[in-house]
Amino acid sequence: MEQGILESYVNYLIWGPRSVKKIIPLHKAVALEYQRQYPQSTVRHIANGGELTLPGQFFDKKPDIVVKLSDGRYILVSVKFITATIKSNLINYWEQALGECYNMAQYECHYYVVLRYQTPAFSTRYKLKRIDVVDSSILRKFHTLADQVAIDKVKTTLIDISPFLEKEYQRFPTLRDLLETIGYSNLNLFFYQHYLPRYGYIDLNLLRIMNKWIDKQTFLIRQKVPQQRLEEIDKFFTAMKNQLMQQITVRIF
């Protein structure tokens, strides 16, 4: 489990909090635990067959992990990795968990949440304001969810991550700032003809915005970007990820 959490955290640093890359390693690790617990079951998740849509009481839902047991029953697992400070968002997380599981109350619902024991909080200028610490009262609030009719099981995993690297890796320029600097029409040209050959590395902020707006394969076809350039990108991020995986330590309490 530590390895899955570590890889998810590294992807969070590189690709940002809203990237699907952040959740895939953790979902795979949690799904593997359920596969071991229910060896005769079929387990579906984003990295294994894709998320399965099931009807809910109010809305259809794609649970993070769906475990189909040998007798035909379903276990739905909602997985949360809370990388940001929790104290300012605790009510939202709690209500979201309750709402998700109540909507799917006709199934057996499990809620799996990974919490950081210490989480840095930064100002808008990315100066460290404080470090929030998860205490027993916060854990109790999550476990009271198991007392609700709609939620059958709650598991909290408390982790310690060191060192903190958000300050170095989570600096997002606004799209307006970027476009005013280089112009949208010159974005692709700037990236491939200026950054890679001149500096030998990729600007993460620029790539995040490109990755958000342009699909990799569509970009390759439309812009006729050499395959060698895409291979350089893959090699760059593989090297960065490997370096961070060795540098960061994840410890489960």
Of 147, 132, 75, 140, which Cα lies nearest the Cα of 113?
A: 140
| Domain match, 212 and 100 both | no
| Domain match, 35 and 75 both | yes
| Domain match, 208 and 144 both | no
| Domain match, 61 and 177 both | no
| Domain match, 38 and 112 both | yes
How much is the average pLDDT of 41-59? 90
| Domain match, 164 and 43 both | yes
pLDDT in tens, 120-154: 887 766 677 888 899 888 888 888 877 766 688 88
Q: What is the pLDDT of residue 206?
A: 53
247: in domain: no
| Domain match, 111 and 194 both | no
CATH label of the domain that carries residue 6: 3.40.1350
Contact of 240 with 233, CB cutoff 8 Å? no
Residue 41 has pLDDT above 90, yes or no: yes
| Domain match, 186 and 201 both | yes
Q: Which of the pair, 231 or 171, is modelled with greater confidence?
A: 231
Q: What is the pLDDT of residue 207?
A: 56
Got the DSSP string for the chain? -HHHHHHHHHHHHHH-TT-GGGTHHHHHHHHHHHHHHSTTSEEEETTBB-PPPB--SSS-B--SEEEE-TTS-EEEEEEEEE-S-STTTHHHHHHHHHHHHHHTTTSEEEEEEEEESEEEEE-TT--EEEEEE--HHHHHHHHGGGGSTT--EEEEEEEEEES--HHHH-----HHHHHHHH-GGGHHHHIIIIIHHHHSS--HHHHHHHHHHS-HHHHHHHHT--HHHHHHHHHHHHHHHHHHHHH-EEEE-
| Structural domain count of the chain | 2
| Domain match, 80 and 117 both | yes
Residue 35 has pLDDT above 90, yes or no: yes
Parent domain of 223: 172-241
| Domain match, 156 and 176 both | no
249: in domain: no
Last residue of a domain, one of 151, 168, 185: 168
Last residue of a domain, one of 149, 168, 187: 168
pLDDT in tens, 97-126: 888 888 888 899 999 999 999 988 877 666
C-alpha 47: how far from its chain's center?
13
| Domain match, 121 and 192 both | no
